[in-house]
Amino acid sequence: MTREYQAYFDVIEQRLKVIIPEESFDFMPDQRPLLLSKAMNYSLLAGGKRIRPVMLLAAYNLLKEDLERAIPFAVALEMIHTYSLIHDDLPAMDNDDYRRGKLTNHKVFGEANGILAGDGLLNLAYEQLLMACGAMPSPFCGMKAAEIIAFRAGGQGMIGGQVADMMQEGCEGDEKILQYIQRHKTAALFMASMEAGICLGDANEEQKGAAKEFGYHYGMAFQMIDDWLDVVGDATLLGKSIGKDAKQQKLTWPSLIGIENTKLRAEEHVQLAIEQMKGFGTKGKFFIDLAQSTLKRVQ
């Protein structure tokens, strides 16, 4: 973790730790039951890398210095990501026992509470976004950033990618289908990080386009490396089970083009991501290092 990444990471952690207080509010009006707060915090505070919110803050910092304005958007994005992991791990989806090095949410709290903890995080994310927009002197850019996050997380984004991924299990796929799945299931939230962050920084159209493309190429490389690690990674180091893609007959890059070509393709996406940072001068270095670091996981 670079010093800059650590600084963004700390800001996110501090905010996430206090957002869902674990007090005994059972049966008090307008309060969450303690069980729900615990289930939401269990996954939210389970030690994620916080890449998406870090990217959102760093994208904002490409253009603006203060961070405060962007923090609620970053926090909301991490909540959406965490809800998607909780739901993805459910028996009806990927049926996983471990996530972030711990038992999955439904393994600890039961399936129904797992679903509801995910729902709770998703709703809290939108509450945060709306509150942040409401507090802005001129909310237009906040509303645009919130719209981007909603779009990329929704049916034309992450949820669509997840549905396509499940539709494809056990079927013979091709590159077009796999591109669709990974652009939406994985890259969409990275695109949201970059687009929302830069939008909050009052970017021009060219800057918005470059940030979006960075998110896309970074996300594609990220998922390719994830697929690669699912074949040859170490479950203890990754904090999750491996070999699941093959067992579930998932359409992945290693299954379609082979393990070596997957790595080469990831390298191409990293290169394309880095090129997007040309217009940002020395400020783009954070993202260049970030893109290069994805490949270090397979070296």
**Considering beta carbons, is residue 265 or 280 the nearer one to ligand GRG?**
265
Helix H or strand E segment including 229: helix 205-232
184 binds ligand GRG (CB under 6 A): no
**Considering beta carbons, is residue 47 or 258 the nearer one to ligand GRG?**
47
Q: Three-state SS for 103? A: strand
254 binds ligand GRG (CB under 6 A): no
Contacts of residue 215, Cβ cutoff 8 Å, sequence gap at least 6 = 55, 187, 190, 191, 192, 193, 194, 195
Q: Which residue is nearest to ligand GRG (CB)?
A: 48
**Considering beta carbons, is residue 87 or 183 the nearer one to ligand GRG?**
87
Helix H or strand E segment including 297: none
Site string (226-245) toward ligand GRG, x via CB under 6 A: x-------------------
Distance in Å, CB of 14 to ligand GRG, minimum: 17
What's the burial of 166, exposed, middle or buried (CB within 10 Å: 0-12/13-18/19+)?
middle
Number of Cα atoms under 13 Å in the Cβ half of residue 138: 5
Distance in Å, CB of 135 to ligand GRG, minimum: 27
Contacts of residue 35, Cβ cutoff 8 Å, sequence gap at least 6 = 109, 113
Q: List 13's β-bridge partners, or say none.
A: none
Of the residues 41, 84, 105, 113, which one makes contact with ligand GRG according to CB under 6 A: 84
Distance in Å, CB of 213 to ligand GRG, minimum: 19
Of the residues 19, 39, 51, 194, which one makes contact with ligand GRG according to CB under 6 A: 51
Q: Which residues would be at the binding site for ligand GRG (CB under 6 A)?
A: 48-49, 51, 81, 84-85, 87-88, 100, 158-159, 162, 185-186, 223, 226
